[in-house]
Amino acid sequence: MTIGIWVLGDQLSASQAALCSSSPEDSRVLLVESNSVLSNRAYHQQKLVLVWSAMRHFAADLGAHGWRVDYHESDCFSDVLPNWLASHQITELRIMEPEDRGFRAAIERLHFPVPLVWLPSNAFLWSREDFAAWASGYKQLRMELFYREGRRRFGVLMQPDGTGLAPLGGQWNYDHDNRKSPPKGLRGPDPLWFQPDGITGAVIEKVRQLNHARQAQGLASLPGDLEPFGWGVSRREALQVLDHFIATRLAGFGPYQDAMVTGEPTLWHALLSPYLNIGLLHPLEVICRLEQAGLELQVPLASLEGVIRQLLGWREYTHGLYHWFGPGYGQLNHFRASQPLPPWFEQLGGSGLACLDTVLGEVRGRGYAHHIQRLMVLANYGLLAGLDPQALTAWFHASFIDGFDWVMQTNVLGMGVYADGGRLASKPYAASGNYIRRMSTYCQNCRYDPKQRSGADACPFNSLYWDFLARHEPELRGNPRMALVLKQLQKLPAEELEAVRHAAAIHRAAMLAPPT
Ligand SMILES: Cc1cc2nc3c(=O)[nH]c(=O)nc-3n(C[C@H](O)[C@H](O)[C@H](O)COP(=O)(O)OP(=O)(O)OC[C@H]3O[C@@H](n4cnc5c(N)ncnc54)[C@H](O)[C@@H]3O)c2cc1C
Ligand code: SF4
């Protein structure tokens, strides 16, 4: 009996459940690098390089540890599987449950001549069942409660008083210390980038050829720049990025977590999501190393707690919710928004708004923008302009180095554009240009005026913001957290509101295609 283990491109961990369920003597491992992923979605060129190069490195690492590994490049999975199963007399195929629902459905459509065994995923701290058991106890889910439960359950940043109940420092959350505006000249530490090795160089060439072939067929170019490519592609490099983060940015993580600075795309952010999301790092090992190093180095608790909350709180929460909410969540559209994405979203630049063009340019360059750029610039624009939430989610998925369905849905639909009507966020994250002016340096180089809300020079985020509130006032009225801003809306003189909404209409007409 030979067990076949099919390792998917986001499961590149030697301790993933399917590999752990067997041994090198009893099994053969398969990895398939399939171009068919491009038939549903055109991914950022660097995302393809990251995943395919990491798969090739992972296959080599497994081989070095005694596993018999077969690596195939193909146009579709079904070209490879039947022959592989037959030629190695595989009697049972094991796969760790994929995080993205669609992928399991696609695999199930393949029909295997041998029994297929799904192993529950061990890629997160919370299993889907444990999350469901926690969530079923609440009428209204809130991340903060989930995060506190995670701290207690996994014993992270807790008082060493033997009870395991009280948070270190006496407080669960230091977020209010972490919202500083950027002072003049703010610069973050340089991130760690890598020179592509021979394997990565070959994948870069492959993606270049694939892109040329697409263009020759009249298809749009794959999003983003292919080079310079500097992401790590192996566990060794991912661990180096983690060490580099601890050495250079962990202590400063907190204060400027929400700041956005032109020419400083990464500031004190960890740049770990691509590695976590494809399995090169496990979230528990990252949390434990951060906690241990942070305490040894006496890192300010606000910074240490801040980054641990992102991982043990937000990351686990968005993953748990994706499975808890189920497949219907992806289609929600609370505000019935239907505006198609403007062409400069797809082109990753050219809007004429300094904030949007800066962030889009950074996404084009590396497939990366930090959290506040994603939330308060890109998604905020989508919310205010009424962009189709499903089209926006698909755009995020295609444009980002770390995009996966499980993390996109709750972040874009829930947190970003409130398409779920408040199942994740307690209010829409809608903000005017004033927020961007306060938290970034973008407005200094913009042709628009962040202090104006009507007229030709008015910041479009301002006119769209008041227009959004006016359009959705009846639905927002019932939300106590919107009471203050709706009061401000009511205080706007009618003529001024009309002028603001006129400016929003002019922006729409000039910048957005009409809905079909
Ligand atoms: C509209 C929108 C889209 C997003 N799309 C993605 C995505 O496709 N893939 C993705 O991994 N994250 C996504 N996020 C969450 C977050 O923005 C990124 O995880 C983070 O910016 C990655 O950069 P970093 O590693 O430097 O993160 P840091 O800011 O340094 O945070 C550390 C880690 O915490 C985790 N984390 C922080 N916030 C979140 C969150 N809200 N959800 C899940 N994990 C979180 C990430 O693993 C991250 O690596 C999105 C957020 C928004 C608002
Ligand atoms: S003025 Fe408005 S559009 Fe220009 S950068 Fe500032 S927030 Fe963006």
| Per-residue pLDDT tens over the stretch 376-401 | 999 999 999 999 999 999 999 999 99
> What pLDDT score was predicted for residue 132?
97
Counting ligands in written order, the one closest to the CA of 458 is 2
CA 103 – ligand 2 centroid, Å: 39
Confidence of residue 406 (pLDDT cuts 50, 70, 90): very high
Q: Which atom of ligand 1 is nearest to the CA of 276?
A: 47
Counting ligands in written order, the one closest to the CA of 446 is 2
Do the Cβ atoms of 413 and 429 come closer than 8 Å? no
Mean pLDDT of 423-438: 96
Looking at the chain, which residues constitute the CATH 1.10.579.10 domain(s)?
Answer: 343-511
Q: Is 448 in the pocket of ligand 2 (CB under 6 A)?
A: yes
| Residue 161 clears pLDDT 90, i.e. is over it | no
> What pLDDT score was predicted for residue 514?
55
Q: Is 446 in the pocket of ligand 2 (CB under 6 A)?
A: yes
Average pLDDT value over all residues in the chain = 95
Cβ contacts of residue 333 below 8 Å, gap of 6+? 388, 389, 390, 419
**128-194+230-325 placed in CATH 1.10.1280.10:** no
ω into residue 228 within 30 of 0, thus cis? yes
CA 442 – ligand 2 centroid, Å: 7
| Residue 365 clears pLDDT 60, i.e. is over it | yes
> What pLDDT score was predicted for residue 314?
97
Mean pLDDT of 434-459: 96
| Residue 411 clears pLDDT 60, i.e. is over it | yes
Q: Which fold has domain 343-511?
A: DNA Cyclobutane Dipyrimidine Photolyase, subunit A; domain 3 (1.10.579)
- How much of the chain, in percent, has pLDDT values that exceed 70? 99
Q: Is 67 in the pocket of ligand 1 (CB under 6 A)?
A: no
Looking at the chain, which residues constitute the CATH 1.25.40.80 domain(s)?
Answer: 128-194+230-325
Confidence of residue 38 (pLDDT cuts 50, 70, 90): confident
> What pLDDT score was predicted for residue 513?
63
Q: Which atom of ligand 1 is nearest to the CA of 257?
A: 29
Q: Would you report the helix, strand and coil content of the chain in percent, each value rounded to 5?
A: 50, 10, 40
**2-119 placed in CATH 3.40.50.300:** no
Write the residue with the smallest CA distance to atom 7 of ligand 2.
433
Determine if residue 271 is left, alpha or beta; phi over 0 gives left, psi from -120 to 50 gives alpha, anything else beta. left
Q: How far does Cα 5 stand from its chain's mean position? A: 28
Q: Which neighbouring-strand residues pair with 70? A: 30
> What pLDDT score was predicted for residue 186?
96
Q: Which atom of ligand 2 is nearest to the CA of 433?
A: 7
Write the residue with the smallest CA distance to atom 6 of ligand 2.
443
Q: Is 416 in the pocket of ligand 1 (CB under 6 A)?
A: yes
Q: Which atom of ligand 1 is nearest to the CA of 415?
A: 53
Q: Is the pTM of this model over 0.95?
A: yes
Dist. CA 11–CA 31, nearest whole Å: 10
| Residue 162 clears pLDDT 80, i.e. is over it | no
CA 492 – ligand 2 centroid, Å: 22
Mean pLDDT of 179-198: 96
Do the Cβ atoms of 486 and 469 come closer than 8 Å? yes
Write the residue with the smallest CA distance to atom 10 of ligand 1.
402
Q: Is 308 in the pocket of ligand 1 (CB under 6 A)?
A: no
Dist. CA 55–CA 75, nearest whole Å: 16
Do the Cβ atoms of 348 and 364 come closer than 8 Å? yes
Choosing from 248, 310, 393 the residue with most ligand 1 atoms within 8 A of its CB, the one to mutate for a pocket test is 310
Q: Is 318 in the pocket of ligand 1 (CB under 6 A)?
A: yes
CA 407 – ligand 2 centroid, Å: 28
Choosing from 262, 461, 466 the residue with most ligand 2 atoms within 8 A of its CB, the one to mutate for a pocket test is 461
Mean pLDDT of 306-321: 97
Looking at the chain, which residues constitute the CATH 3.40.50.620 domain(s)?
Answer: 2-119
> What pLDDT score was predicted for residue 375?
98
Q: Is 436 in the pocket of ligand 2 (CB under 6 A)?
A: yes
- What is the biggest distance separating any 2 CA atoms in the chain, rounded to whole angstroms? 79
Write the residue with the smallest CA distance to atom 2 of ligand 2.
459
How does pLDDT run across 61-96, given as a tens digit for each residue? 999 999 999 999 998 888 899 999 999 999 999 999
How does pLDDT run across 120-144, given as a tens digit for each residue? 999 999 999 999 999 999 988 999 9
Counting ligands in written order, the one closest to the CA of 379 is 1
Dist. CA 288–CA 295, nearest whole Å: 11
How does pLDDT run across 199-246, given as a tens digit for each residue? 999 999 999 999 999 999 999 999 999 999 999 999 999 999 999 999
Q: Is 450 in the pocket of ligand 2 (CB under 6 A)?
A: yes
CA 195 – ligand 1 centroid, Å: 24
Which amino acid type is present at position 66?
G
Mean pLDDT of 429-447: 97
Mean pLDDT of 185-197: 97
**First-residue to last-residue Cα distance in the chain:** 57
CA 380 – ligand 2 centroid, Å: 12
Q: Is 222 in the pocket of ligand 2 (CB under 6 A)?
A: no
CA 444 – ligand 2 centroid, Å: 8
